[in-house]
Chain A
């Protein structure tokens, strides 16, 4: 036989191959087998770990939903309190700094006044 050239296919071999590779009928029970597997395995792999953990019972889903809402609200509240506390601490630090600077200035002024008083008495 001549070597296969895709541009000039060997018609005899191609025809034999088409005949040999004709579609075959699936067994009679094939459809039932597929449907049985669809019923037993259906959408299993699509369920994520959370869905698998929760199962299909309604009260578990409600409990999970309530817990999720509680966690979200608790988290928001905690975040708000944390921000307020940080803001309060920053304000307190600023106040302390301002008081410290004021005290320092007052002390310097007092020293200056005392110095002037001493000069006057000396004269």
Chain B
């Protein structure tokens, strides 16, 4: 069986030896790469950094296969490690990225275009949040985790997660409203304002 066709080994009896083989580990990477890469991409909005951190996460997994005991544990371990790696990398000065608000696309009148631009602008706004708020928002809306699951992933009290989430959504609402408006009329108004600048 080629590397490309392998099925990811399921954590259980004897899975580690299978997972350490090229085909087995490649299958694990293939199964979870979307989640890990997306967390990193939404955190930095930078493909190169997302790739590098994503690879680091899987390399760390390879070295810690012994500590994984179930498929659910594998997924939560990857999610937790990816999030912590993103926060740590962001805190290293060299990787800090300022997301310029001036570069945000202006909303357009066509609904499809507007949706794409709204998504693009929201991604930029999320990537401009402080790192912990950013992680909370990504885990909440990309990974669809509950507050208690986010608290477990980030190893912080639920109340703190609520507080970060509330603050982050407040900022996003405020910036999105300022930038995009809350309805089609406001969007058009925003577009006109953008043209005037």
Contacts and interface: CB of A to CB of B under 8 A. Distances in A.
Contacts of B63: 42-43, 45-46
B187 interface: no
Contacts of A13: 169, 172-173, 176
Nearest to A31: B29
A104 B166 CA distance: 96
Interface in B118-148: 118-120, 122-123, 126, 137-138, 141-142, 144, 147
Contacts of B174: 1
Interface residues of A, number: 33
Given A21-B126, A31-B29, A45-B63, A4 B170 contact: yes
B34 A3 contact: no
A19 to B, nearest CB: 6
Given A4-B173, A24-B41, A37-B55, A17 B137 contact: yes
Interface string B34-68: 11111001100001000100110011001100000
Nearest to B165: A6
Interface in A55-102: none
Q: Is the interface of B mostly helix, strand, loop or mixed?
A: helix
Contact of A20 (B25, B62, B123): B123
Contacts, number: 113
Contacts of A31: 26, 29-30, 33
Contacts of A21: 38, 42, 122-123, 126, 137-138, 141-142
Chain B interface residue count: which class? 35 or more
Nearest to A22: B142
Interface of A: 1, 3-4, 6, 9-10, 12-14, 16-27, 30-31, 33-35, 37-38, 41-43, 45-46
Interface of B: 3, 22, 25-26, 29-30, 33-38, 41-42, 47, 51, 54-55, 58-59, 62-63, 115, 118-120, 122-123, 126, 137-138, 141-142, 144, 147, 162, 165-166, 169-170, 172-174, 176-177, 182
